[in-house]
Amino acid sequence: MKPPYELNSKILEYVSSISEKIGEINASFIVETAPSLRKQNQIKTIHASLQIEGNTLTEQQIKAIIENKRVLGPSKDIQEVQNAIKVYEAISSYKFDSVKSFLKAHNTLMAGLIERPGKFRNKGVGIVKGSQVEHIAPPAENVTSLMNNLFDYLKKNDEITLIKSCVFHYEMEFIHPFIDGNGRMGRLWQTIILMSKYPVFQYLPFETLISKSQEEYYKVLSICDKSGNSTLFIEYMLSVINNALKELLSNSIAITITQNDRLQYFCSLKKNSFSRKDYMQVFKQLSSASASRDLKAGIEKRLFIKSGDKRLTTYHLNKV
């Protein structure tokens, strides 16, 4: 059964805006060539996701653990970080629509922290805030079938991936399939679903923005529980993704791309004839002087030949 939600103009507007930003990132940057960015965002993602769960370690301490340096802190917090590092280093190996893969990730994420990592819960659970019972999850005997149905939904191709990732995140939190680790698994798996279609999400620590609006995150989950559908959560998560992409476009990614990366990428576009203006349309954050230096280097490397002079200069891919 398809999970309940309604498409509205706000959701469709976010989908359009996100798609445009992803297109701009794919056209302007070669993110695959930026391992330093991947490491930086991995640290931010692990820090943000675990901070939401009460982990006290800083980004600097997480970086130190990644670099195999000794860190002083609560043993549980260090174990959580070590587990998360293993998961995020293997993130591209997980299959977004596989229950087996999902359980394997949970096993790694929660190893040494709970009794049955990688296993669905075998008892009832609820979420208590203060003295209030915020949410009572479905009975344990229903969890396996509910999660199998949810993964069947992921396999459907008639659904927009951006929306599907949000729906899965909400429904998984509602089912609460594990004794512990549900929040971090929901956020992790949304990233994995998005990566299945948009590799750029491996470089996007949108969990940082969730951690900044943590109160709203839980409030929206609660409202959706009461309304019986995930529409508001989809709106919230798409706004977070949209803001994260906006931040990515305006921040450090541009400086991680070398001149040679730009030239090789531009040649792959197979634009037979082009001007400096055309080159700058692909690399929108590049200055005129930097574009001229790139094109001069392209000629020296025999990637391009040129005709004309000054404003009338035209470049041509060298087919030799």
Cut 0.85: pTM above it = no
Structure tokens at 126: 């609820």
Q: Are strands 314-317 and 304-307 parallel, antiparallel or unpaired?
A: antiparallel
User: Is 9-254 a domain of CATH 1.20.1050.10?
Assistant: no
Q: Are strands 132-136 and 126-129 parallel, antiparallel or unpaired?
A: antiparallel
The model's confidence at residue 255, banded by pLDDT at 50, 70 and 90, is very low
Q: How far apart are CA 229 and CA 2, in angstroms?
A: 11
Query: Quick one: pLDDT at residue 33?
Result: 46
Q: Is 113 helix (H, G, I), strand (E, B) or coil?
A: coil
Q: How far apart are CA 42 and CA 31, in angstroms?
A: 14
Residue entry with tokens 């574009």:
291
The model's confidence at residue 199, banded by pLDDT at 50, 70 and 90, is confident
Contact predicate 147/154, CB 8 Å: no
Q: Is it the case that residue 180 has pLDDT exceeding 80? A: yes
Structure tokens at 197: 């279609």
Query: Quick one: pLDDT at residue 28?
Result: 58
The structural domains of the chain, with segments of one domain joined by +, span 9-254, 258-317
Express each pLDDT in 2-29 by its tens digit.
Answer: 899 999 999 999 999 999 888 877 765 5
Q: Across residues 62-66, what is the average pLDDT? A: 94
Sheet with strand 314-317: strands edge to edge: 273-274, 314-317, 304-307
Contact predicate 34/203, CB 8 Å: yes
Contact predicate 3/153, CB 8 Å: yes
The third-level CATH classification (topology) of the domain covering 258-317 is Arc Repressor Mutant, subunit A (1.10.10)
